[in-house]
Structure 1
């Protein structure tokens, strides 16, 4: 079992291998042809956040704000479940991960983008840099961080692990996706696997020796899992890993599938159990979950003496690799189970509950998608900020008797500041949303009473579609503005922002498209209890409004009143939809607009909370440093920008939703 002492020894081992020397700049210096040789950085600029020791998008100040001011992480650490951890040890953990990110992940990101996995003799050959990166990351305890101690984990708060995942993900999404998927498998087995399955598989996953996948989609069944056709037939004997089934079918879009970097891959496969009379239950009720290893092995034994990097010994065939726009270092595969030879699978939990179990993994993955989108948006933001501070173009509209005035950095132009401020709002707002979701997850496990735990769980359930969809849509918009700031340079591969955009584009699609998230939010989360859970959310928002007004700051009071008005508009639109829609189609036809409206409302709340903290510090802390003053003023200005440029869109969308517009129902295919 991996204990806290193992985590500390991992710190020490990896810390001794720390790289020396300065880190590479985020972007190459773009010299102006008309430069007069003056310094490119304005005299007023004192240096922005460059990341935890350069890891990516987070400065020490960002981390402190999120963990100690916005979220009460110290309060979480006082709870018995998290008592072995403290802020100093968590920050030591971050420092270790930063070193791993800078030495084993970040240097290889460009290489992986240029050289994706290749299909060779029925196998997926990946870059040789991936295996040591995974192994080194596993040594830090990263993969065991949030699991309970009794299953080999470290019981670290999910809130703290959010920052850890940002550090690794922002260094290389392509490499980090492998351990992220494996951690999802570990969470499912920890929660629903048998004691034998946990004992057999978890140590290998947490050590980085085995990776994992989610095998849901099929060529004919993407988001519609009721239509999957993979079949599981019970076998006569039972293995040490649980009840044995023969699994047969094809799966599509399987990220992390059949890579040759690790010794084994644990596929979690959704399939329908065939009864003795040859029938299967219709729809989603018959779906069960199975562990199908790339290389099968009995409970008491090691994997068979075969080429572990070679073909599957458990009847799994790689049919092909999908060539992608981004995430190019991660395999994305079409797999066949049980076609040429038998694929043995082991039932997880109870028959017919596979979709329920998979959604545990999916909901965690959806929060992970929001976090990944935030990280990529942040990378573009920092790169374009560095460029805007450096690139000189244009001159002030003033006359000088000494001749032409020197060109200025483009950050002096209002339109460039607009694009930077939009990025700041979307990225920092999305990060606060992801952190809040992680806090709700922690609270749902460790709050003092069952009622409090239930409330936090239901709140997280309500917000998960927004946590996935808002960052994936609007941090992609941030990447668009990053490219725009760099102009022609941003459209070339000489600068990194185009890759951030390509990679981020996936996040609106995978783990449930944003269209699916809109149906989930309105059709399930809002409609199922007639909006009861959203009323609890609105109460929390209104409490934040009262706190903001109590600060005695005119602008904060104005923002609070604007948010109160927006809450009322969304509430009214929701009640109209639920009470007056004449059909399910009528309720859901504008679900996309509803999701955007609801997401903007949540983000307005996030910014009010951040600006309230900043305002209180600026107006009550007489010993505030110049660095903190600038940091907090940035939060206030970002909130002001968001409330002027984004929050007003809630009114327009609420009117559309309330009108019960049926244009999309009346248009026919022949009209296109």
Structure 2
């Protein structure tokens, strides 16, 4: 029976027919794996997500976390689901064997994760934050920190957070005021307040490991003065047992529009409520070198950006498939050619406009799914490709795609869930059906882990212009290969290749023409429009890749692929033209708007 969370057949197509993940088993890191183990994991993920995550999807929204001034209370089903996730080694799927991990390819791990985000993003978020936290520590922390804090997170006993934003600064991290005071024993005493910290306190894990950005007394100004510290809720003794309660408390929790099952907190470090060692200040442990904390945190943020894109995809997938189920079962109206009111009503999927909305969702969801898995595949290649040249090329392409994979599924996943509501009509915005909750859950993703505008500045300012366009050219090289393959195939794919080539050439011209504007503020005035255009270009390329793989293979699945690809090239790709026209013109309408004029 088909799931109303994720299309297992689509995952199979993307992994095995398009990305050929079986080839990864020839690499040393993944030598213990095969299609058999990948399929077993995907099947287990689907079952666990369906039976233990989806079952409290509604309840975790209706009975959101509460805080009594001392303790955060969550419904017990959240802890139970995450315990079962730990029992399937879900926290350590991609971790090194040294830490009890399975060393699974990121491509397969990301595919598995879509089941959990589709089932219940509010519960799944705890696990993804924890894995990203532990992975950062493995990459940058001392051996002692890895053993005391990363290993228990991979085991699912400790959970993790990323504590960056502050009430006064938000994402302007150069303005953080949290401070860390060096101690004679090599530890630090951390003081400060954070805001918007997901999973910042709860009782479903033995311990919570906060990764905190703070500044040392001798810190340079701005982002160059930020250091990174491990600040646990409970200190950990040498034998791994829990020690004293650290000086970390909550001032409050935030009440969100959606994704309510993930408690969102305002923690305070060092307010004196607890005094480990008889002194005030939360005890922290420096990660890596002083003043390089933001560089280290980007390791977690980039992982989180892929996770957000995957979460947006999973949420949109569930809304799409549930609206598809509804459209197939809801009788209403008759064909336009029918005049006899005695004729039985037809299911609404028989109406062209409903099929249009479903086809749009399919094109967004399957495009976003392919984008997320492609980025995970690039992550595998960046780490394990056979040659240094191949690893470097994968890294360049992944760098350009990271802000896109975070933002495009978030923006168009929101549009997709909105269409799911529209398919249901009046029922769609009632709480009798899941799609309105998926819409609310989805609304966080364009903000989470860097807003749409921040990703735009990252893409245009850092990933493209600051590296002289090397990343864009590497990506363009891949697109050119797809264009050549599509032209060789002939027919519709060849025509789509011509459309894609025209837009690829145009974005190259526009990109390098921006430099002539000179003023960085003017160059970045339309960065968000540029991001949207680049995202649509990338997803069009990915759709062409899928169409080349599908070829002329017969069957409903492949016919559906071809029709969704047709929709994207007919309806979505042309949207790039006015976007690039605006960017190329150097339009300064928003830039020149003045406060008083509002």
Query: Which TM-score band applies after superposition, normalised by the shorter structure?
Result: over 0.9
In the alignment, the residues of structure 1 paired with residue 128 and residue 229 of structure 2 have an alpha-carbon distance, to the nearest angstrom, of 19
- Describe the SS at the equivalent of 2:112: helix
**Partner residue of 1:251?**
194
Q: CA deviation at 1:159?
A: 0.3
In the alignment, the residues of structure 2 paired with residue 524 and residue 406 of structure 1 have an alpha-carbon distance, to the nearest angstrom, of 59
Q: CA deviation at 1:151?
A: 2.8
| Cα-to-partner distance string for 1:120-149 (whole Å, 9 max, x where unaligned) | 132211112222221211111111011111
Matched-pair contact (CA < 8 Å) for 2:199–2:263: yes
- Describe the SS at the equivalent of 1:590: helix
**Partner residue of 2:46?**
98
**Partner residue of 2:256?**
324
Residue 523 of structure 1, aligned match among 461, 470, 473: 461
**Partner residue of 1:36?**
none
Alignment of 1:50 with 2:5, yes or no, is no
Alignment of 1:202-217 (within 5 A): 202-217=150-165
In the alignment, the residues of structure 2 paired with residue 123 and residue 397 of structure 1 have an alpha-carbon distance, to the nearest angstrom, of 59
Q: CA deviation at 1:92?
A: 1.1
- Describe the SS at the equivalent of 1:296: strand
Q: Which runs of 5+ in 2 are unaligned?
A: 273-279
User: When the two structures are superposed, what TM-score results if normalisation uses the length of structure 1?
Assistant: 0.86
Residue 344 of structure 2, aligned match among 395, 398, 406: 406
| Cα-to-partner distance string for 1:187-234 (whole Å, 9 max, x where unaligned) | 011111111111122331122111010000001111110000000011
Residue 533 of structure 1, aligned match among 447, 471, 476: 471
Matched-pair contact (CA < 8 Å) for 1:50–1:382: no
**Partner residue of 1:334?**
266
Residue 497 of structure 1, aligned match among 430, 435, 449: 435
Alignment of 1:383-422 (within 5 A): 383-398=322-337, 404-422=342-360
Matched-pair contact (CA < 8 Å) for 2:127–2:159: yes
Alignment of 1:551 with 2:489, yes or no, is yes
Higher relative helix content: 2
- Describe the SS at the equivalent of 2:587: coil
In the alignment, the residues of structure 2 paired with residue 598 and residue 205 of structure 1 have an alpha-carbon distance, to the nearest angstrom, of 36
| Cα-to-partner distance string for 1:234-269 (whole Å, 9 max, x where unaligned) | 1111xxxxx310000000000001111111100000
In the alignment, the residues of structure 2 paired with residue 274 and residue 659 of structure 1 have an alpha-carbon distance, to the nearest angstrom, of 47
**Partner residue of 1:464?**
402
Q: Which runs of 5+ in 1 are unaligned?
A: 1-48, 238-242, 307-312, 619-628
User: When the two structures are superposed, what TM-score results if normalisation uses the length of structure 2?
Assistant: 0.97
| Alpha-carbon spacing, 1:403–1:103, altered in 2? closer, same or farther (3 Å) | closer
Q: CA deviation at 1:652?
A: 1.1
| Cα-to-partner distance string for 1:421-446 (whole Å, 9 max, x where unaligned) | 11000000000000100000000011
In the alignment, the residues of structure 1 paired with residue 384 and residue 236 of structure 2 have an alpha-carbon distance, to the nearest angstrom, of 36
In the alignment, the residues of structure 1 paired with residue 91 and residue 98 of structure 2 have an alpha-carbon distance, to the nearest angstrom, of 15
| Alpha-carbon spacing, 1:458–1:403, altered in 2? closer, same or farther (3 Å) | closer
Matched-pair contact (CA < 8 Å) for 1:168–1:176: yes
Residue 497 of structure 2, aligned match among 552, 557, 560: 560
Q: Which deviates more from structure 2 when the two are superposed, residues 522-531 or residues 317-326?
A: 522-531
Alignment of 1:583 with 2:535, yes or no, is no
| Misfit runs of 4+, over 4 Å | none
Give the aligned length.
Answer: 591
In the alignment, the residues of structure 2 paired with residue 590 and residue 663 of structure 1 have an alpha-carbon distance, to the nearest angstrom, of 10
In the alignment, the residues of structure 2 paired with residue 661 and residue 100 of structure 1 have an alpha-carbon distance, to the nearest angstrom, of 50
Q: CA deviation at 1:647?
A: 0.5
In the alignment, the residues of structure 2 paired with residue 179 and residue 396 of structure 1 have an alpha-carbon distance, to the nearest angstrom, of 48
In the alignment, the residues of structure 2 paired with residue 637 and residue 379 of structure 1 have an alpha-carbon distance, to the nearest angstrom, of 20
Q: CA deviation at 1:329?
A: 1.0
**Partner residue of 2:592?**
666
Q: CA deviation at 1:399?
A: 5.2
Q: CA deviation at 1:616?
A: 4.2
Alignment of 1:315 with 2:315, yes or no, is no
**Partner residue of 2:528?**
592
Q: CA deviation at 1:57?
A: 1.4
Residue 433 of structure 1, aligned match among 356, 365, 371: 371
Residue 601 of structure 1, aligned match among 532, 537, 542: 537
- Describe the SS at the equivalent of 1:281: coil
- Describe the SS at the equivalent of 1:465: helix
**Partner residue of 2:276?**
none
Give the structure with higher Rg (CA): 1
Q: CA deviation at 1:301?
A: 4.8
**Partner residue of 1:162?**
110
In the alignment, the residues of structure 1 paired with residue 586 and residue 295 of structure 2 have an alpha-carbon distance, to the nearest angstrom, of 33
| Cα-to-partner distance string for 1:600-626 (whole Å, 9 max, x where unaligned) | 1001101101111112434xxxxxxxx
| Alpha-carbon spacing, 1:563–1:193, altered in 2? closer, same or farther (3 Å) | same
**Partner residue of 2:581?**
655
RMSD: 1.3
- Describe the SS at the equivalent of 1:317: strand
